[in-house]
């Protein structure tokens, strides 16, 4: 399958500071892909280089096969990028802004039906004739998402698109993005809402300190990089006895809750046997499944 985005040996330095340290990353056409990392990890630098706003110090980037430096016009036509910042033209209403945006990419009246569909999907139809300056913060965010989609690009990059927006917009946005993805659009998402990334993205890359520290199918990433937790309600008077009994296990006791990290599910029987043998009272047992947030914290902490 043809690659939608390719970062090859990408480095970016500012003086002596290395913002991106030789990243190699390919994203397939039609993927719903997550790009995650803590603040300052290099995510926005990668997106800005993809958009042609920032020039790499070395390496090459391609969008739909077009070099973002040598074939800027073609590559830019392939991209619709939703930035974190609320940047908009204050002189136009919403529909005018979208038509002008599409016009920059050579799209004319034949594109008006698509713009109306985007307005409908993002619940902006009743604000189409409203000046951008008069919109609320949440509505401006919707308009920026619509602006990135105005020329119907094959690649859609969402840089923290739901930061500070209401639940309704988040739900409508994700429904629309899943619909576009099912039609063949490539979606790249950066977000600090890791539950969103876990539910939406088929594959995830994690960057930290300018390096690629993880890349895998989402389910495999979670399964291979985290452990189950065993939660047991105890009598807190037994704390000393428990710590002595379970020496060698990863144990945390908070009030009446004992939490044990299981490296293997088989350890559960051994733990229960040890507690019974040493006459430790316990009242309730449950296991909690690993999630992307735990994996993210573990990987970035280790890095």
Residue 1 pLDDT: 65
Phi, psi of 83 (to 5 degrees): -80, 165
The Cα angle at residue 47 between residues 42 and 52, in degrees rounded to 5: 125
Phi, psi of 86 (to 5 degrees): -85, 90
Residue 253 pLDDT: 83
Q: What is the residue-level pLDDT of the chain in tens, covering all 303 positions?
A: 689 999 999 999 999 999 999 999 999 999 999 999 998 899 999 999 999 999 999 999 999 999 999 999 999 999 999 887 776 677 788 999 999 899 989 898 999 999 999 999 988 888 888 888 888 878 888 888 899 999 999 999 998 887 777 788 788 889 999 999 999 999 999 988 898 999 999 999 999 999 999 999 998 888 777 667 788 888 878 788 888 888 878 788 888 888 887 776 678 888 888 888 888 888 888 877 778 888 888 888 766
The position carrying tokens 């991106």 is 20
**Distance (Å, whole) CA 132 – CA 13:** 36
Residue 151 pLDDT: 94
Phi, psi of 20 (to 5 degrees): -135, 130
For the record, the structure tokens of 141 come out as: 């965010």
For the chain, the distance separating the N- and C-terminal CA atoms, rounded to the nearest angstrom, is 32
Q: How far is CA 280 from the centre of its chain?
A: 43
Exposed, middle or buried: residue 59 (CB in 10 Å: 0-12, 13-18, 19+)?
Answer: middle
**Distance (Å, whole) CA 276 – CA 140:** 60
Are 180 and 156 in contact, with CB atoms under 8 Å apart?
yes
The model's pLDDT over 120-176, given as tens digits with 9 standing for 90+, comes to 998 888 888 888 888 887 888 888 889 999 999 999 999 888 777 778 878 888 999
Residue 24 pLDDT: 97
Residue 160, phi-psi category: left (phi > 0), alpha (psi -120 to 50), beta (remainder) = left
Residue 239 pLDDT: 83
Query: Smallest Cα–Cα separation from 180: which of 96, 80, 36?
Result: 80
The Cα-based distances of 233 to 228, 229, 236, 258, 285 in angstroms read: 17, 13, 9, 6, 7
Residue 226 pLDDT: 66
* DSSP 8-state assignment for residue 106: T
pTM of the model: 0.81
Domains in the chain, please, with CATH? 1-78+154-160+187-224 (3.40.50.300), 227-302 (3.30.70.860)
**Distance (Å, whole) CA 83 – CA 91:** 20
């Amino acid at each position: 399958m043809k690659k939608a985005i390719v970062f090859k040996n990408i480095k970016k330095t500012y003086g002596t500071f290395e913002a991106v340290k030789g990243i190699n990353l390919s994203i397939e056409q039609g993927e719903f892909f997550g790009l995650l990392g803590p603040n300052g990890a290099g995510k926005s630098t990668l997106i800005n280089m993809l958009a042609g706003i920032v020039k790499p110090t070395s390496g090459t980037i391609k969008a739909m096969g077009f070099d973002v430096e040598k074939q800027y016009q073609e590559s830019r036509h392939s991209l619709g990028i939703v930035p974190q910042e609320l940047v908009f033209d204050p002189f136009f209403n919403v529909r005018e802004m979208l038509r002008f945006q599409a016009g920059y990419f050579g799209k004319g009246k034949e594109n008006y039906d698509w713009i109306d569909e985007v307005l409908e999907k993002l619940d902006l139809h009743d604000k189409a004739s409203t000046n951008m300056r008069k919109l609320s913060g949440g509505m401006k965010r919707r308009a920026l998402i619509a602006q990135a989609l105005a020329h119907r690009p094959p690649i859609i990059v969402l840089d923290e698109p739901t930061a500070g927006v209401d639940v309704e917009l988040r739900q409508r946005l994700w429904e629309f993005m899943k619909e576009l993805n099912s039609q063949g659009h490539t979606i790249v998402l950066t977000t600090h809402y890791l539950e969103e990334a876990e539910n939406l993205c088929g594959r995830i890359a994690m960057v930290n300190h300018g390096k690629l520290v993880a890349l895998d199918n989402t389910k495999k990433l979670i399964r291979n990089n985290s452990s189950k937790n065993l939660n047991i309600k105890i009598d807190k008077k037994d704390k000393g006895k428990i710590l002595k009994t379970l020496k060698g296990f990863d144990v945390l006791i908070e009030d009446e809750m004992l939490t044990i990290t299981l490296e293997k599910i088989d350890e559960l029987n051994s733990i229960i046997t040890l507690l019974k043998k040493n006459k430790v009272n316990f009242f309730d047992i449950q296991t909690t499944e690993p999630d992307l947030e735990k994996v993210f914290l573990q990987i970035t902490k280790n890095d």
